[in-house]
Amino acid sequence: MQFRVEPSLQSKASSIFLLSLLSIVLAFLGSSVIFVFYRVSPWEAYLTFFHGAFGSWYALSETFKRAIPLLLVGVGLSLAFRAQVLNIGAEGQILLGAIAATWVALFSGVPSSFMLPGMFFLGFLAGAIWALVPAVLKIRFAVNEVLTSLMLNYVASNLVLYLIGGPWKGKGVRGFTYTDTFPEAGWLGTIGTSRVPYFTLLVGVVVAVAGYFFLKKTALGFELRVVGSSPETARLLGISEGKITLLVMFLSGGLAGFAGVGEVAGIHHLLRHPSHISLGYGYTAIIVAWLARANPLATILTAFLFGALISGGDALKVSLGIPFQVVSVLNGLILFFLISTELLSRYRIVWGSSRGGGAIEP
């Protein structure tokens, strides 16, 4: 049978879904090299992985626990990516949220009934302001936001290390470097006996739905999409690119900060080493948003998927002794296959002979 490839004007939702699925399968196949290196049969690794991600109520709750920050950050990044603003600094923005929440919980002296609201409010604000730095530099000085937002991740990480090792070091922790435990008024309630905070889970879903309607139904959402898809048109319509950049950086940074609060208030109940507060959520959320094609509603699905990836990776570490960085390998591979197959979705395969063989020219 003969076929040819020709440009397709629009890619169908079904083909996008299939290509995304293909990317994930290919990434899993590719990562089997690492399993072989650790003398683990890939089949056993996959089984352990799926068992660790979905195999029991505990596994599912772990998956949900990881999916919450990914969802919150992923929705924010979807908005940013839609406007062609590449915020790579979510990891640092998460940490800033955690820092602000810790300050409220331990040092502000706020009455206990205001503690959680205060933590989330300031956490959102701290992440948002941290994200505005690259935004302002981009608008004012044409500095590439990828680099500045990423550099600030290292700064935020050092800031946490400084605080937990110095001024905020807990009184009762001696040799360890973390803060004292928050008062219980600063703890988030969890679902049943699991470690899944329901508040942030609920907010994540609400934000995803709200983000979807914001993009689709509001004037500001329309402006955002125009800036992202065609800056020239935006200029002709008098839409301020700077305003949109500020908006999406504020929202994505704020949501990342909010997620950071959720991690310390819902899971750790103290401020500790940056790599424990965020297991690379800020970077993984980039792929969550990319896989969702920057559609906030679809991030509910992709965040869950990558939550599973992380808890599955955890299981690989615990049961088979494969380092946790295997998750980074999977992330990188998925991203590669996604952008590579994107080219395919821009074309379609037409079955039949190349000329006059039945296929109708568009």
Partner 1 sequence: MNLEIILGVLNRAMAYGTPLLLATLGEVYAERAGVLNLGVEGMMMLGALGGFVVTYLTANPWMGIMAGALVGGMFSLIHAFSAITLRANQTVSGLALTLLGTGIAGTLGRNWEGKTLATPIRPFSEAFLARCPILVRMIFKDIDVLAVGGVVLAVFLWFFLFKTRPGLFLRSCGENPSASDALGINVWQVRYLAVFFGGVMAGLGGAYIAVAYRPAWSSGMTQGVGWLAVALTIFSFWNPLYALVGAYLFGALFHLAFRLQVLVAPELLNSLPYLFPIVALVFVSRLAFRKKLGVPEALGKPYKRGETG
Q: How far apart are CA 299 and CA 248, in angstroms?
A: 16
Q: How far apart are CA 13 and CA 9, in angstroms?
A: 13
Q: How far apart are CA 305 and CA 12, in angstroms?
A: 22
How near is the Cβ of 293 to partner 1 at its closest, in Å? 13
How near is the Cβ of 339 to partner 1 at its closest, in Å? 4
Q: How far apart are CA 112 and CA 74, in angstroms?
A: 31
Q: Of 115 and 163, which has the nearer Cβ to partner 1?
A: 163
Determine phi and psi for 289, rounding to 5 degrees.
Answer: -70, -40
Q: Of 34 and 265, which has the nearer Cβ to partner 1?
A: 34
Q: Which residues in this chain contact partner 1 in the complex, by CB under 8 A?
A: 34, 37, 86, 88, 137, 141-144, 146-148, 150-152, 154-155, 158-159, 161-162, 165-166, 283, 286, 290, 322-333, 335-336, 339-340, 342-343
DSSP string, 180-193: PPPPGGGPPPBSTT
How near is the Cβ of 275 to partner 1 at its closest, in Å? 9
Q: Of 75 and 163, which has the nearer Cβ to partner 1?
A: 163
215: Cβ contacts below 8 Å, ≥ 6 apart:
79, 82, 221, 224, 225, 296
Q: How far apart are CA 90 and CA 97, in angstroms?
A: 10
Residue 174, H or E segment: none
Q: Residues 105-111: contacts with CB within 8 Å, 24+ apart? A: 105/182, 105/183, 105/186, 105/264, 105/265, 106/168, 106/179, 106/180, 106/182, 107/168
Q: Of 61 and 331, which has the nearer Cβ to partner 1?
A: 331
Residue closest to 330 by CA, chosen among 33, 102, 111: 33
How near is the Cβ of 100 to partner 1 at its closest, in Å? 18
How near is the Cβ of 313 to partner 1 at its closest, in Å? 10
Quote the tokens at residue 183. 């008062």
How near is the Cβ of 227 to partner 1 at its closest, in Å? 17
Q: Of 14 and 37, which has the nearer Cβ to partner 1?
A: 37
Residue closest to 49 by CA, chosen among 328, 279, 317: 317
- Which 3 state secondary structure label does DSSP give 40? coil
On whether the CB atoms of residues 71 and 108 are closer than 8 A, the answer is no
How near is the Cβ of 111 to partner 1 at its closest, in Å? 32
How near is the Cβ of 68 to partner 1 at its closest, in Å? 21
The C-alpha angle with vertex 49 and arms to 45 and 55, in degrees rounded to 5, equals 130
Q: Of 187 and 290, which has the nearer Cβ to partner 1?
A: 290
Say how many CA atoms lie within 13 Å of 332 toward its Cβ.
7
Q: Of 187 and 337, which has the nearer Cβ to partner 1?
A: 337
Q: Of 149 and 200, which has the nearer Cβ to partner 1?
A: 149
- Which 3 state secondary structure label does DSSP give 158? helix
How near is the Cβ of 148 to partner 1 at its closest, in Å? 5
Q: Of 227 and 286, which has the nearer Cβ to partner 1?
A: 286
